[in-house]
Amino acid sequence: MSVDPFCTKSETDKTVFYESASFMVLYDIKPVVRGHCLFIPKRHVVDLPELKKHEQRELWELLCSMIPRILKIYVADGNSYDLTSQIGPYSGRTIAHLHIHLLPRRKDDIYQSDSKNIFEDIKLNRSSFSSADVQKEVSALRKEFGYRGLQK
Ligand SMILES: [Zn+2]
């Protein structure tokens, strides 16, 4: 992976649907479940402790305000979700730019089966959704969040 897609505006432009001062929320380009989103810092940051104090607060507030809104849209059963980030070379990380995955879960999703591993599929970019599916979700999310492409 030579190019960092999260520092490449033409890449983040494809699926961004919400921005705060220092962060963006993207729909994953290869979602493993419906509603699979990413929280990323706008500036290049690899690990959580590199965030400045005000960014740490902003990220936590963003997660706490966005998670219920996203779960409501994707009707996560029993408010179920995974929140995960792979940091460091031995974690299964594929992109060395901090990103936190939000994975809404349903009682009938394919990962309820013991033979399916959600973390493995994230690592391998294994998705059962087409790029048309992804664009449809992004359009709906932009409408829902009133996103008009404000990022610099
Ligand atoms: Zn970066």
106 located within any domain: yes
How many angstroms separate the alpha carbon of residue 3 from the centre of ligand 1?
9
Domain count, the chain: 1
Between CA 121 and CA 40 the distance in angstroms is 20
Whether 54 is in a domain gets the answer: yes
Distance 95 CA to ligand 1 centre (A): 8
pLDDT tens column, 104-145: 999 999 999 989 999 999 999 899 899 999 999 999 999 999
- pLDDT at 103 exceeding the cut of 70: yes
Going from the Cα of 87 to the center of ligand 1, the distance in angstroms, rounded, reads: 13
Question: For every residue of 84-145, which 3-state class applies, written as one string?
Answer: ECCCCCCCCCCCCCCCEEEEECCCCCHHHCCCCCHHHHHHCCCCCCCHHHHHHHHHHHHHHC
Distance from the alpha carbon of residue 80 to the mean position of ligand 1, in angstroms: 29
Domain assignment present for residue 46? The answer is yes
User: Is the sign of the CA dihedral 8, 39, 114, 120 positive or negative?
Assistant: positive
pLDDT band, very low/low/confident/very high, at 150 (cuts 50, 70, 90): low
Confidence of residue 30 (pLDDT cuts 50, 70, 90): very high
Q: Output the CA 5–ligand 1 centroid distance in Å.
A: 7
The model's pTM: 0.94
